[in-house]
């Protein structure tokens, strides 16, 4: 089956054991590839891929064809996307500014819409280009994800809002960022096997972190080991092993807020590579 995940440290960390034969895969075989999360979201929208890492925002549109696995998710506290710029701006000022987002269907974009509904001018950029776009004046502000949350200050950029903190204050729940989905057409037995295998892969990485690091290093945007480990510790936690009751409740809350607002894609959004 076709498996897709991102090259970000938390994904390569949890998938290392699976793709390198370090665990019992129960006879399941994978042709795997890596792409940025928005590309994976769009593949899933087209049904292109059997098992994919996707944003929870994208998951809201995928439930007819894909089931969410209990293992492999990125949820937690203190790990949300950050809205940054060259200087701080008020919500009123941001309403008239262009804000870079890392993808239409990213959870970062959904949180921005929930937190700042007046901010409607957006420009879609690859997540790794957003800081550069702010610095060169291409956009006024941007929402950053992944390793960039640890390095933006080194480039003279400032935080306007922590969107994860905004969520946590209002819901008292962990923030659902991304999860692993499997095609319903794979069937009940295969999907349950995928759940077991995915959990084994996560547990193996947590048991032997140093064993997964060569795979993490060769794919990470930031090659600094300290930054990579901060990233992994932030996004790989108890909810990655198993969503559990609290994780599933947080996902239900995200669904409810999405449905209450009636959100689709609104405002002026340009797509760029």
Catalytic residue IDs: 146
Of 183, 198, 192, nearest to 1 by C-alpha is 183
Extract the tokens encoding 46: 């087209």
43 and 103 Cβ atoms separated by less than 8 Å: no
Q: Determine the Cα–Cα distance for residues 223 and 218; give it in Å rounded to an integer.
A: 8
Q: Determine the Cα–Cα distance for residues 208 and 114; give it in Å rounded to an integer.
A: 38
Residue 34 pairs in a beta bridge with: 5
Residue 33 pairs in a beta bridge with: 4
- Count Cβ atoms within 10 A of the Cβ of residue 100 and give its class: 0-12 exposed, 13-18 middle, 19 or more buried: buried
Cβ-based neighbour number of residue 169 at 10 Å: 9
Crossing angle of helices 188-207 and 9-19, in 10° steps, is 110
* Angle, CA of 177, 68 and 244, to the nearest 5°: 75
Of 7, 10, 15, nearest to 197 by C-alpha is 15
Cα atoms in the Cβ-side hemisphere of radius 13 Å centred on 137:
0
112 and 143 Cβ atoms separated by less than 8 Å: yes
């Amino acid at each position: 089956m076709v498996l897709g995940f991102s090259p970000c440290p938390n994904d390569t960390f949890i998938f290392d054991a699976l793709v390198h034969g370090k665990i019992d895969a129960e006879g399941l075989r994978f042709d795997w590839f890596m792409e940025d999360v928005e590309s994976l979201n769009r593949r899933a929208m087209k049904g292109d891929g059997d098992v994919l890492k996707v944003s929870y925002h994208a998951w809201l549109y995928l439930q007819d064809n894909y089931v969410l696995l209990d293992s492999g998710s990125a949820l937690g506290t203190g790990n949300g996307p950050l809205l940054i710029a060259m200087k701080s701006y008020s919500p009123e000022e941001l309403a008239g500014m262009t804000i870079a987002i890392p993808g239409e269907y990213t959870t970062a974009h959904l949180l921005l819409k929930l937190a700042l509904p007046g901010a409607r001018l957006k420009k879609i950029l690859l997540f790794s280009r957003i800081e550069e776009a702010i610095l060169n004046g291409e956009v006024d502000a941007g929402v950053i994800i992944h390793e960039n949350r640890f390095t933006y200050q080194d480039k003279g950029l400032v935080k306007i809002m922590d969107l994860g903190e905004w969520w946590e204050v209002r819901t008292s729940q962990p923030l659902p960022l991304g999860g692993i989905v499997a095609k319903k057409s794979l069937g009940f037995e295969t999907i349950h096997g995928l759940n077991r295998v995915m959990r084994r892969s996560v547990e193996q990485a947590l048991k032997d972190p140093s064993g997964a690091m060569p795979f993490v290093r060769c794919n990470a945007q930031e090659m600094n080991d300290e930054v990579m480990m901060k990233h992994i510790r932030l996004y790989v936690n108890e909810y990655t092993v198993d969503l559990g009751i609290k994780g599933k409740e947080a996902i239900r809350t995200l669904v409810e807020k999405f449905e209450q607002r009636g959100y689709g894609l609104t405002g002026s959004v340009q797509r760029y590579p």
